[in-house]
Amino acid sequence: MKKYLQFSKDVERTLKNKQPVIALESTIISHGMPYPQNLEVAGRLEAIAREIGVTPATICLMDGKVKIGLEQKDLKILAKSNDVAKVSRRDIGRIIETKKVGATTVAATIIAANRAGIKVFATGGIGGVHRNAENTFDISNDLIELSRIPVIVVSAGAKAILDLPKTLEYLETMGVPVYGYRTDKFPAFYSSQSNLKVDKIDTPRQIADIYKTNIELGLNNGMLVANPIPEKYEIPFAEMEEYIDLALKKAKKNNITGREFTPFLLLEIVKITKGRSLQANIKLVENNVRLACEIAREL
């Protein structure tokens, strides 16, 4: 992949100087949030990282290249155009070859980040095992890539649109460590906790140390750091459940499947909650970027 990587000046210099960098995904911009909030958020996440002294590298595919670190005009295209492809592992080659614009999911972003030498990545929520997966087989590529790409993924757990117990079981099957940041309850994205147990870790330093040990042991898997949404911004689990139900019913009625399924549900929930879920989403991503930056500095 090396010859396809195109670094921004900023990211290239920071990596060369062995200073901290974090990776950010672009699907959250193109398919995860509505315009114009998506563009504001993309800019704000980068600003938060810079304030902490960490260089943000938002990643996407453009002009036949894997871009590591974007300019404002790139972010604008991702935020506004409705001709942006959602890219997981299997889509990378096709979108590079056809020189289309591709927004990278968690899966594709960590693949690219790893090739670029970036070890920490922040997002909102990861993809996972969908409800009813026993019939649909809908399991996100994110989980597979987490098991084989040695990048630390900071997320607010997994979204309650998913089947959380099955998602955790699958991560265990695939050998992916899941750590709760200062909690032993797996966070459920909009809500700070579920009743599912995870191993608790209390400091960015400890996360960095475990990561380094894993690498020294030759275990080349990634790890998931689940960082709960700050309580004052959370939407209670039971309340979310009603909205998610509505969104799932609508998806079924409209026959939404495959890569369209997650974006459909996310935007539907924004509509149903009249933007409240979007506010929670924004707060939790910001919170994840801060933690990812602290971990990157420890590394």
Which residues participate in catalysis according to the annotation?
A: 25, 159
User: Strands 152-155 and 223-226: what pairing?
Assistant: parallel
Binding-site member from 102, 127, 157, 180 for ligand PSU (CB under 6 A): 127
CA–chain centroid gap for 254, Å, is: 26
| 27 touches ligand PSU (CB under 6 A) | yes
Please classify residue 299 by burial: count the beta carbons closer than 10 Å to its beta carbon, then call 0-12 exposed, 13-18 middle and 19+ buried: middle
Which C-beta is closer to Mn ion: that of 91 or that of 138? 138
Which C-beta is closer to ligand PSU: that of 56 or that of 124? 124
User: Minimal CA–CA distance to 155: which of 249, 20, 291, 51?
Assistant: 291
What is the spatial distance between Cα 203 and Cα 142, in angstroms, rounded to a whole number?
25
Binding-site member from 67, 89, 119, 159 for ligand PSU (CB under 6 A): 159
- Token pair for 5: 């990587």
The residue at minimum Cβ distance from Mn ion is: 138
Residue 244 interaction partner, one of Mn ion, ligand PSU, none, beta carbon < 5-8 Å per kind: none
What is the spatial distance between Cα 198 and Cα 288, in angstroms, rounded to a whole number?
18
| 138 touches Mn ion (CB under 5 A) | yes
Residue 25 interaction partner, one of Mn ion, ligand PSU, none, beta carbon < 5-8 Å per kind: ligand PSU
How many residues are recorded in the chain? 299
| Beta-carbon contacts of residue 79 (< 8 Å; ≥ 6 apart) | 29, 30, 35, 36, 38, 39, 42
**From 26-34, 146-154, 164-172, 211-219, span contacting ligand PSU (CB under 6 A):** 26-34
Binding-site member from 114, 262, 277, 288 for ligand PSU (CB under 6 A): 262
| 142 touches ligand PSU (CB under 6 A) | yes
Residue numbers at the binding site for Mn ion (CB under 5 A) = 138
Residue numbers at the binding site for ligand PSU (CB under 6 A) = 25, 27-28, 32, 105-107, 124-125, 127, 140-142, 159, 259, 262, 266
